Structure 1
């Protein structure tokens, strides 16, 4: 999501990882400075191996969900947002069988379409460190409101994610969204 302060945020809720379930936040300030908020050194190393940051802040990152109300807390960030209706794209993604959706060839085939439908968004690309990454999204919901603080200053209100974030090969959707996605990373050295 974007904010009127110019700070853009991508909250990652990792349901499955080598470290179990965890939450991280990628923050890009209006200046372009990119910070990773991660709960442990291991999760910070894991995320930083795929995405690019100028700084990393390791401290507990908590997520609470109460129906449509979501909240993230970290010593440098408070962020509350409300999730709205499923977007048309989310409904269309539900029609793609999961077996197909997670295939690399599918991600490669729909990448040009994703770039047109969601400028800045890619579904397949280079993850750095001789790795390839692709995304298998299965739902997209609107974020309809958000408030919070970053390092003690107000984030303002919800705004489009503009300019695109630059943590990796892809940005997030321009319209503030909650996207359910599987991220698949292949180490190209082990092909």
Structure 2
């Protein structure tokens, strides 16, 4: 294997009744230090990355597919089951609730195993059955491979989402699935504890 990048933190997937879908990354540990980013897919299908620095934007846009990349001030806070995101035109205020049924199963797998690339390669077909559209392993841009190791999952119970000053509507399933890469987030709005490993072939 070549160069390896590890991102440790949380991913939130949020859908709205207007059709706007957002995937929020809150990374406590990464090669770029702590940061937050947001991938937005508009009702038209337009895919937009909101990233905090040119360096982060360059890495993410080389790994995933976007129609537009913006470098903006991105602030993401996760505490006391509340998620607050301010990212240029996007504002999210969300509350997480009970652990999802899938989250109970994920917690039964020791985390050291749950985030290991070999395990994630093996269980990827099962992940797609448990959460349609989601996969734990696949190929990414720039000849990279990517592994998603999820060790916990909570439902998002409520959310207020605004884009460019307009209300995006009520909380709704992430539907259709987002198309930034080989995997989507679960259709049910949720917050995942995750370690993402990106490997250069």
Q: What interval of TM-score do these two structures reach, taking the shorter chain for normalisation?
A: over 0.9
Quote the residue 2:192 is aligned against. Answer: 179
Q: Secondary structure at the match of 2:104?
A: helix
TM-score (norm 1): 0.95
Quote the residue 2:163 is aligned against. Answer: 150
Q: Secondary structure at the match of 2:134?
A: coil
Structure 2: runs of 5 or more not aligned: 1-13
Q: Deviations over 1:40-85 (max 9, x none)?
A: 1111112112111110111111123341221101221111101001
Counterpart Cα distance in 2 of 1:73 and 1:129: 29
Quote the residue 2:118 is aligned against. Answer: 105
Quote the residue 1:89 is aligned against. Answer: 102
Q: Secondary structure at the match of 2:33?
A: coil
Quote the residue 1:77 is aligned against. Answer: 90
Contact 2:38 / 2:87 at 8 angstroms: preserved in 1? no
TM-score (norm 2): 0.90
Counterpart Cα distance in 1 of 2:154 and 2:34: 21
2:50 pairs, out of 37, 40, 45, with: 37
CA shift at 1:99, angstroms?
Answer: 2.4
Structure 1: runs of 5 or more not aligned: none
Alignment of structure 1 residues 162-173 onto 2, 5 Å? 162-173=175-186
Aligned positions, number: 188
